Amino acid sequence: MSILGLVLREIGRRKAGFVLACGAVALAAAGVVFTQTLSSAFNDALRRITLQMGRNIAVVPAGADAAALTSGESGSLTMDETVVHRLSASDVPAEHYMGKLQVRLTPEQGGPGILTGITADVGSVGRAKGSAKSPMGFEVRPGECILGSGAAARLGDKGKPGAKLTLLGREFTVAAVPGKGGAKPKPCVAPAGPVDDLRIFVNIKDAQEMLGVPGKIHTVDALGCVCPIGGSASYLTDIEKRIEKTAAGTHAVTYMSIANARLTARQGAELTQQLTVGALGLLALLVVAFYLFADVRERREELGMYLAVGFSPGRLAGMFLAKLVIVAAIGAALGFAAGTFGALKIDPARMGMVGIRPAVDWMTAVWAAAGALSISALAGLLPILSAARTDPADVLRVR
C-alpha cells in the first residue's frame, strides 16, 4: 500500500486527533488572514484620515516662517519645484509629496480665500521602485480650480462645479473633486481645518504664471510618514534631518499631533496583529505537536511491526510528513476562508462609518499556507524523529 493510502487509513482510525490538529492550524491561519485583512483596510482608512488632518511634515525654504506659510501667507522666499521630485526619488520614508505655491486673495482679486497652486501628488517609498501607491491628494487641470469647503460655502451657487470664477484677473472653471475607486465626485474638498477650507486650488503652472514665479513653490507637504513599530518622536526628527540633507537650502517642520496620531495608530494596529498571530501560532504548534506525539506513542508497537517487516525509517518519517502536509493544507484552506469571511462580515455598518473597507486579499492565502506548513513542520520535527528512531527489537521484546 502507498504511503498516502496508509496515511488516509490512519486518519480514518483516529479522526478526533486529526480534526483537532486541523482545527488548531485553521485557527492560526484564520488569525493571520483576519488580522492582515483588517490591518490593510485600517491602514488604507488611516491614510485617508491623515490626509483630512493635514500633512505630516512641511518642507519650506531655509529662513522662511513655517507658521506663516501654514496659516496661508505667501512670504517672500521660494524654492525650486524640483525639490518635490528630489525628495520623491530619495530614501526619505514618506509616502507622498506635494508642492504648493500660495497667496491670500482680497475681495477684488476673487477672494477672500487662499489661491493655492499644487503639483501632482508624487509617491516616494515603494512607488518610485514600481510598487504603485494610490494618491493621497488630487490633481487640478490647467484652467480649472477646486474649492475648499469654506470657499465653496462663501461663493454659494457661484462656487458650484461648472461655474466661472475670476482669480487675479484670470478666469477659471470650478471643477469637482474626482472620486476615487469609482466613487461619485464631490463638489468641493471635505472640511480640513479653518485655513485649508479657505483654499482655492489651481494647477501649479497657472499659479506660477499669475504670481510671476515660474518653476517656484513655497512649500512641500510630506504626507504619510512611514513609521516602524518602534518609531518615536526622535524617528521623526531623523526624517527632518534627512529631508534637509536631501534638499539643501530647505527646513523641515513636523506637525507632531498629526504625525504622532498616525504613528500611534499604526503601532497599535501592528502590535495587535503581531500578538494575535503569535499567540494563535504558538497554540497551533502545541496542539499539532501534542497530536503527533500521542500518535507516535499510541502506535509504537505498530511502528515497530512496520520496521520489522522491512519499512525503512525514512518511509515511516514520510508517512508522518504526508500527514502534516494534509493537516497544513486543510488548516490553511479553512483558515483563509474563515478569516476572510470574518473580516468581511464583522460589523460592516460600523466599519463603513469609519471608512474601513476590508477586501479579499489573495496574498494572505499564500501567507496562511506558508504559516500552516511552518507550524506543522516545527510541531512535527521531534515526533517524526522519535518515530524514525523506533527500535523494532525493543518494541517486540516488550510485546
Cell of 242: 534627512
Cell of 257: 499631533
Question: What are the residue boundaries of the structural domains of the chain, listed by start?
Answer: 3-42+265-398, 55-254
What pLDDT sits at residue 9? 73
Residue 50 has pLDDT above 60, yes or no: no
Of 30-39, 77-86, 218-227, minimum mean pLDDT range: 218-227
Separation of alpha carbons 221 and 30, rounded Å: 39
What backbone torsions phi and psi does residue 175 show, to the nearest 5 degrees? -115, 155
- Residue-wise pLDDT tens digits, 309-344: 666 777 777 777 787 788 888 888 888 888 888 878
35, 273 Cβ separation under 8 angstroms = yes
Query: CB count, 10 Å around CB of 261?
Result: 16
Give the pLDDT band of residue 194 (cuts 50, 70, 90).
Answer: confident
Q: Which helix (H) or strand (E) holds 225?
A: strand 219-225
What pLDDT sits at residue 125? 43
- Mean pLDDT across 231-255: 77
3-class SS shares of the chain: helix, strand, coil, % to 5: 55, 15, 30
The CA-based angle 115-72-209, given to 5 degrees, is: 35
Instruction: Tell me the DSSP string of 259-301.
Output: HHHHHHHHHHHHHHHHHHHHHHHHHHHHHHHHHHHHHHHHTHH
Separation of alpha carbons 375 and 288, rounded Å: 8
What pLDDT sits at residue 152? 92
Which range in 42-56, 154-168, 250-264, 363-377 is most confidently predicted, on average pLDDT? 154-168
Separation of alpha carbons 366 and 384, rounded Å: 26
Supply the mean pLDDT for the chain. Answer: 76
Instruction: Tell me the DSSP string of 101-155.
Output: EEEEEPGGGT-SEEEEEE---EE-TTGGGT-----SS----TTEEEE-HHHHHHH
Give the pLDDT band of residue 390 (cuts 50, 70, 90).
Answer: low
What pLDDT sits at residue 126? 38
Give the pLDDT band of residue 132 (cuts 50, 70, 90).
Answer: very low
The CA-based angle 157-163-168, given to 5 degrees, is: 105
Helical packing angle, 15-53 and 3-13, nearest 10°: 90
What is residue 332's three-state secondary structure? helix
